[in-house]
Amino acid sequence: MATMREIRTRIRSIRNIEKITRAMKLVAAARLRRAQERVLAARPYAEIMQRMMRNLAQGGQGLQHPLLEVREEENIALLVLSADRGLCGSYNTNLLRHATRFLDDYESDRVRLLIRGRKAEQFFQRRRTAVEDAQAMGSGADLVFADVQPVARRLRELFETRRVDAVYVNYQRFFNPIHQEPTTLKLLPLETPAGAEEAAELRDSQETIFEPSAEALLASLLPRYVDTQVYRAVAEAIASEHGARMTSMSAATENAGEMIETLTRTFNRARQSAITTEISEIVTGAEALK
């Protein structure tokens, strides 16, 4: 059995850990709120854009654009969105397991790997997988659309110049603070946005005037659509990360509390028995003097 001093040291260190996990939980909760708002705020834009594309598809005769071109999947690009740090439960582990499983289907020399998030970077470095570009994810506290545009542009260029024939994104899709799921998003080629039943939705299909032309509009709309998809994935990944961190830090804080309770009980018992021993020693000593 541990000595009283040992138990006391242990309680003290757990109490310190508890302070840290509680602080991390609070920070994550605050960031989560903002990240969640961002995910929601990104929705109207994406929806309106889809509506416009449908409208265009209906007006223009047959959509044609390099970003829509379906080719045999010879080479691909994959963007992996992980966190920079751990202490967020199985967030990174699950995501990276998902990514490796995805990559199993492709020979490594046919994949261009792009990474946001230090954890994924370290992971692929350890596995000696060639990484084309890796950057930190950042806390995401002030993420804006313009921040994701460079990587989105890069992915578009890879596809348009035919260096890759498809582009995928692996990220943790955000459902709610305690539920996120590793997801593969097929970014390119873009799925043609217009289905027959959706076109009917635009009732009484009045002739829309396109300026300068449906083709020209499509040419500037599609790249932006790709960018918004990337933005949404990043926004969701950040919300998922903070959700996962909040949940796991909350559990850690609870565990620490329980541990402190158990240890305190052990400590009290030890103290009690120490006192008992002491008293009986004194009593025995006193008896002996009689």
Partner 1 sequence: MSDVERTLSLEVVTPDRIVLSETAEYVRAPGALGSFGVLYGHAAFLTELITGELNYRSPDGRPHAVAVSGGFLQVLENRITVLADSAERREEIDVARAAAAAERARAARSLGPSGAQLLELDADLERALNRLRIAAPEDE
**What residue type is assigned to position 106 of the chain?**
Y
Q: Taking the alpha carbons of 190, 196, 201, 204 in that order, is the dihedral positive or negative?
A: positive
CA 11 to chain centre: 34
Question: Site residues for partner 1, window 44-63 (CB under 8 A)?
Answer: 44-45, 48-49, 52, 55-56, 59
Q: How many residues bind partner 1 (CB under 8 A)?
A: 29
Q: Give me the least distance between CB of 82 and partner 1, in Å please.
A: 22
Question: Site residues for partner 1, window 92-121 (CB under 8 A)?
Answer: none
Question: Does 42 participate in binding partner 1 (rule CB under 8 A)?
Answer: yes
Question: Site residues for partner 1, window 182-201 (CB under 8 A)?
Answer: none
Instruction: Give me the torsion for CA of 148, 168, 112, 121, rounded to 10°.
Output: 60
Parallel/antiparallel/unpaired status of strands 166-176 and 179-188: antiparallel
Q: Give me the least distance between CB of 55 and partner 1, in Å please.
A: 6
* Buried b or exposed e, range 270-285, using 16+ CB within 10 angstroms: beeeeeeeeeeeeeee
Q: Give me the least distance between CB of 160 and partner 1, in Å please.
A: 13
Contact with partner 1 (CB under 8 A) among 5, 72, 212, 286:
212
Is 88 an active-site residue?
yes
Q: Provide the token pair at 154.
A: 């890069």
* Cα separations in angstroms, 51 against 45, 134, 169, 186, 225: 10, 34, 23, 20, 11
Q: CA–CA separation, 254 vs 22, rounded Å?
A: 9
Q: Which stretch binds partner 1 (CB under 8 A): 163-171, 186-194, 208-216, 282-290?
A: 208-216
User: Which residue's entry shows tokens 């305690």?
Assistant: 178
Mask for 122-161, x = binds partner 1 (CB under 8 A): ----------------------xxx---------------
Toward partner 1, which CB reaches closer, 56 or 95?
Answer: 56
Name the catalytic one among 76, 83, 88, 237. 88
Catalytic residue IDs: 88
Which residues contribute to the site for partner 1 (CB under 8 A)? 38, 41-42, 44-45, 48-49, 52, 55-56, 59, 144-146, 206-212, 216-217, 220-221, 224, 227-228, 231
